[in-house]
Amino acid sequence: MFITFEGIDGSGKSTQLEFLAKELHARGHSVIKTRDPGGTEIGQELRQILLHHPGFVSQRCELFLYLADRSQHVDEVILPALEAGKIVLCDRYIDSTVAYQGGGRGLPIDEIHRMNTLATNGLKPDKTILLDAPVEMLLDRAKSRSDADRLEQETIQFYQQVRMQYLALAQAEPNRFIVLDATQPISEIQKQLLQALPEEVVTLG
């Protein structure tokens, strides 16, 4: 089972991923936690460039760096874990690129879908957890951190477009996406997350 967590920074996706990993481990499942970008040694170097490079990074360069990271990530980490029967929990994946580089940057979304398919050899998540909340709230959370990255310095308009694209993706694939209201208390989100996942995931492994 391959489960991804998506949302604008500040939505709590990483917190919910950690919660689910502990829950599934306690129920006897073998779980792998990873992130996109940065889930491999090569990916860690690409992540540093993508999020912290001080100079100009063109939109297309940014897109291809994310795709390069993802290609290595799938071949080195995600596919081997799935083939070994493990549950893979990933912080961001293909939908982030559609939302940020497509919705936010305005690059052609159809082309991004095609390039995602090439980079991942067609591997899609079984379930995607989308933590959604008003952009202003999420940006206040993200920008209050001392380690805010290059993308977190973008405008509210940029993030409005990212959010709209995320919601469009969820509407287009309702069987894959689980949309949770990130304005709720963390404990309530956790409860709804477990209720929304397939029974075979949350039962004992």
CA distances from 156 to 20, 161, 163 (A): 30, 9, 10
CATH of the domain at 20: 3.40.50.300
4, 93 in Cβ contact below 8 A? yes
- Choice between 57 and 142, residue whose per-residue pLDDT is larger: 57
In a domain, 88, yes or no: yes
Enclosing H/E stretch for 96: helix 94-97
Tokens of 199: 């029974």
Domain count, the chain: 1
In a domain, 158, yes or no: yes
In a domain, 201, yes or no: no
What are the backbone dihedrals phi and psi of residue 152, each rounded to the nearest 5 degrees, phi first? -70, -5
97, 66 in Cβ contact below 8 A? yes
pLDDT at 2 over 80: yes
In a domain, 26, yes or no: yes
pTM: 0.94
In a domain, 125, yes or no: yes
In a domain, 203, yes or no: no
Enter the DSSP assignment of 180: E
pLDDT for residue 201: 83
pLDDT at 145 over 70: no
pLDDT for residue 155: 87
What's the mean pLDDT in 68-89? 98
In a domain, 154, yes or no: yes
Q: 148 by DSSP, 3-state: which?
A: coil
What's the mean pLDDT in 51-55? 89
Give the pLDDT band of residue 148 (cuts 50, 70, 90). low
Domain with 46 in it: 2-195
pLDDT at 146 over 60: no
Asked which of 1-10, 42-51, 62-71, 141-150 is least confident by mean pLDDT, the reply is 141-150
What are the backbone dihedrals phi and psi of residue 162, each rounded to the nearest 5 degrees, phi first? -60, -45
